[in-house]
Amino acid sequence: MTSRVDEILGYYGSDHPGVLKNLRWMMETGTLAGTGKFVILPVDQGFEHGPARSFAKNPSGYDPHYHYQLAIDAGCNAYAAPLGFLEAGAREFAGKIPTILKLNNSDGLFSPEDPKPAVTGCVDDALRLGCAAIGFTIYPGSCDRNEMYMELRELAEDAKSAGLVVVVWSYPRGSGISKAGESAIDVVAYAAQIAAQLGAHIIKVKPPTDHIEQDAARKVYEAEGVDVSTLPARVRHVKQAAFGGRRIVIFSGGAAKGTEELLEEIRGLHEGGGFGSIIGRNSFQRPKEEGMELLKTVMEIYKS
Query: How many other C-beta atoms are found inside a 10 Å radius of the C-beta of residue 161?
Result: 12
Residues 115-174 that bind its own copies (CB under 8 A): 116-122, 124-125, 127-131, 140-143, 145-147, 149-150, 153, 157, 161-163, 172, 174
Residues 40-59 that bind its own copies (CB under 8 A): 46-47, 49-53, 55-57, 59
Our finding on whether 30 is near its own copies (CB under 8 A) is: no
The piece of 85-93, 258-266, 270-278, 292-300 that touches its own copies (CB under 8 A) is 85-93
Q: Which of 95, 179, 258, 304 binds its own copies (CB under 8 A)?
A: 95
CB under 8 Å to 255, separation ≥6 — which residues?
Answer: 281
Please, which residue, 59 or 273, has the CB nearer to its own copies?
59
Smallest distance, its own copies to C-beta of residue 261, A: 21
Our finding on whether 72 is near its own copies (CB under 8 A) is: no
User: What's the chain's Rg over C-alpha atoms?
Assistant: 18
Active-site residue, 96 included:
no
Please, which residue, 21 or 267, has the CB nearer to its own copies?
21
Closest to 283 in 3D by CA, of 303, 264, 262: 262
Q: Which of 4, 7, 34, 197 binds its own copies (CB under 8 A)?
A: 197
The SS3 of residue 130 is: coil
The piece of 223-231, 257-265, 269-277, 292-300 that touches its own copies (CB under 8 A) is 223-231
**Most distant CA atoms of the chain, gap in Å:** 56
Classify strands 118-119 and 104-105 as parallel, antiparallel or unpaired: antiparallel
Smallest distance, its own copies to C-beta of residue 6, A: 9
Classify strands 78-81 and 99-102 as parallel, antiparallel or unpaired: parallel
Please, which residue, 2 or 304, has the CB nearer to its own copies?
2
Our finding on whether 221 is near its own copies (CB under 8 A) is: yes
CB under 8 Å to 48, separation ≥6 — which residues?
Answer: 105, 106, 107, 108
Q: Are 241 and 249 in contact (CB under 8 A)?
A: no
Closest to 216 in 3D by CA, of 187, 182, 246: 187
Question: What's the burial of 225, exposed, middle or buried (CB within 10 Å: 0-12/13-18/19+)?
Answer: exposed
Please, which residue, 25 or 265, has the CB nearer to its own copies?
25
Query: How many other C-beta atoms are found inside a 10 Å radius of the C-beta of residue 104?
Result: 22
Our finding on whether 36 is near its own copies (CB under 8 A) is: no
Q: Which of 71, 74, 100, 200 binds its own copies (CB under 8 A)?
A: 200
Our finding on whether 227 is near its own copies (CB under 8 A) is: no
Smallest distance, its own copies to C-beta of residue 300, A: 26
Please, which residue, 49 or 267, has the CB nearer to its own copies?
49
